[in-house]
Amino acid sequence: MNTSNNVAQPVHIDRVRKTFGEFVAVREMSLDIAAGEFVTFLGPSGCGKSTTLKMLSGLLPQDSGEIRFGHKRIDMLPPNKRNIGLVFQNYALFPHMSVAENIAFGLRMRGWSRAAKDKRVDQLLQLVRLEGLGGRKPEQLSGGQQQRVAVARALAFNPDLVLLDEPLSNLDAKLREQVRLDLRDIQREANQTTIFVTHDQVEALVMSDRIVLMNKGGVEQVGTPYELYATPTTEFGARFVGANNLVAATLDMSSGTAQARIGADLALPITTCAADLDKDGTTIWFCVRPEHLALRPWNKEGEGQFAGRVLDKIYQGTTVLVDLDVTGLGTIRAERAALEVGDLPIGAYIGVHIERSHAVARSTG
């Protein structure tokens, strides 16, 4: 039995669809995942994340479409023939087995020799930084350590694909922050093609090479964390990843550059615009991220400046969220360095500058 790390496989999901009666849970999903890539399925409850995972792992048959690992079609195979490592939110470690026995479980099932098994378990204990703890029972470990054992068990047999189904949701907030970085590092070192499922945008932004944003059984946008945050293409994407600050507007291309027309006489420059939004008169959302609203002392003469009244301030340590009522734009939120905001009183009038903004499609539904 070969114990060397196998070569990571690309994964192809090709027009996969799943319905439950009349209800479409996953609509024609297509996605190519590169070998060794860490991809996150992100979306609200009910958007079809788990259903897609179940089709990948073989727990649910798809209605149509294909799934391939490299060139090999796997969607006709039973779950135990798909060579997938699974990690669930409840770890599902075997309580009566030691840490080492848990990690070796899949190797035993696959008939690895004792020597090969021991060597691989040592490698994985090192990878998940649990050297010396192989003899312990799961109950003698912390929650974060138990989750690392579950990850080691899933990686042990060199799977073609690792599926992580909300693996951090049972951990408390502090531990979750640490374990998500651990998981990301382990995945990078192991270089296994990985799909991670979460409804937590911060987890997705921190951990992923690419994010697949899902909504109502469909894919809204696929991109790097930066792309999803900096250039959301839909209203849903702009709202789900990052804070709102969306204002209804009309795209105005009459000056040669993209502007957002709000009401009769307000036209604001747009620095980035979703690719398919180039038609004059298109109904759009004008989106400004909180960190792109600069606050200055109010000066009526100031160019490109709006009058804003401070409604509330929320200190977060290094930054402050400032809720503002801005003439022409309504209620929006700025995020600035705490040192810059200082003792700005609630009710004060200040100058608000838009440093960067973009247009996103208005949903027609």
60 residue type, one letter: L
Q: By C-beta, is 23 or 297 nearer to ligand ATP?
A: 23
Q: In what order do the strands lie in the sheet with 319-326?
A: 293-297, 349-354, 305-315, 319-326, 330-337
CA distance 267 to 217: 36
Least distance in Å: CB of 197 to ligand ATP?
7
Pick from 10, 46, 65, 143: which binds ligand ATP (CB under 6 A)? Answer: 46
Backbone angles phi, psi at 258, to 5 degrees: -70, 130
CB of 62 to ligand ATP, least distance (A): 13
- Binding of residue 36 to ligand ATP (CB under 6 A): no
| Residue 27 identity (one-letter amino acid) | R
User: Could you give the CA distance from residue 169 to residue 206 in angstroms, rounded to a whole number?
Assistant: 15
* Contact between 51 and ligand ATP per CB under 6 A: yes
The label of the residue with tokens 């795209």 reads: 251
Amino acid, res. 352: V
- Residues from 145 through 204 that contact ligand ATP (CB under 6 A): 199
Under rule CB under 6 A, residue 56 binds ligand ATP: no
CB of 46 to ligand ATP, least distance (A): 4
Does 48 participate in binding ligand ATP (rule CB under 6 A)? yes
Q: Is 244 in the site for ligand ATP (CB under 6 A)?
A: no
Of 1, 356, 6, 4, which Cα lies nearest the Cα of 192? 6
* 259 belongs to the binding site for ligand ATP (CB under 6 A): no
Q: What minimum distance in Å lies between the beta carbon of 217 and ligand ATP? A: 7
Q: Does 258 bind ligand ATP (CB under 6 A)?
A: no
Look-up: residue for tokens 């599926």?
163
Nearer to ligand ATP, 20 or 226 (CB): 20
Is residue 312 within 8 Å of 266, Cβ to Cβ?
no
**CA dist 344 to 258, 282, 314, 330, Å?**
34, 38, 12, 20
Euclidean distance between CA atoms 362 and 365, whole angstroms: 9
- Give one DSSP letter per residue of 235-299, joined into a string: HHHHHHSS---EEEEEEE-TTSS-EEEETTTEEEE-SEE-TT--STT-EEEEE--GGGEEEEE--
Pick one of 25, 42, 211, 219: the residue that binds ligand ATP (CB under 6 A): 25
CA angle 316, 319, 321 (to 5 degrees): 75
Tell me how far apart the alpha carbons of residues 66 and 75 are, in angstroms, rounded to a whole number.
6
Least Å distance, CB 23 to ligand ATP, is 6
The pairing of strands 84-87 and 161-165 is parallel
**What is the C-alpha separation between 83 and 143, in angstroms, rounded?**
26
Question: Which residue is it, tokens 């291309």?
Answer: 253
Return the range that interacts with ligand ATP (CB under 6 A); candidates 42-50, 179-187, 246-254, 305-313: 42-50
Q: How far is the CB of 246 from ligand ATP (least distance, A)?
A: 23
Structure tokens at 296: 């200055």
Q: Which of residues 5-24 bind ligand ATP (CB under 6 A)?
A: 20, 23
Quick one: which of 8, 49, 83, 138 contacts ligand ATP (CB under 6 A)?
Answer: 49
Task: Pick between residue 199 and residue 210 the one whose CB is nearest to ligand ATP.
Answer: 199
User: Shortest Cβ distance from residue 60 to ligand ATP (Å)?
Assistant: 8
**From 40-48, 87-95, 169-177, 353-361, span contacting ligand ATP (CB under 6 A):** 40-48
- Which of 174, 232, 172, 167 has its CA nearest to residue 194? 167
Report the residue number, 203 or 252, with the smaller CB distance to ligand ATP. Answer: 203
Chain positions 65 to 124 lying near ligand ATP, rule: CB under 6 A, are none
Minimum distance from residue 45 beta carbon to ligand ATP (Å)? 3
**Which residue's CB is nearer to ligand ATP, number 136 or number 239?**
239
Name residues contacting ligand ATP, limited to 301-340 (CB under 6 A): none
Nearer to ligand ATP, 25 or 322 (CB): 25
User: Could you say whether residue 47 binds ligand ATP (CB under 6 A)?
Assistant: yes
Site of interaction with ligand ATP (CB under 6 A): 20, 23, 25, 43, 45-51, 199
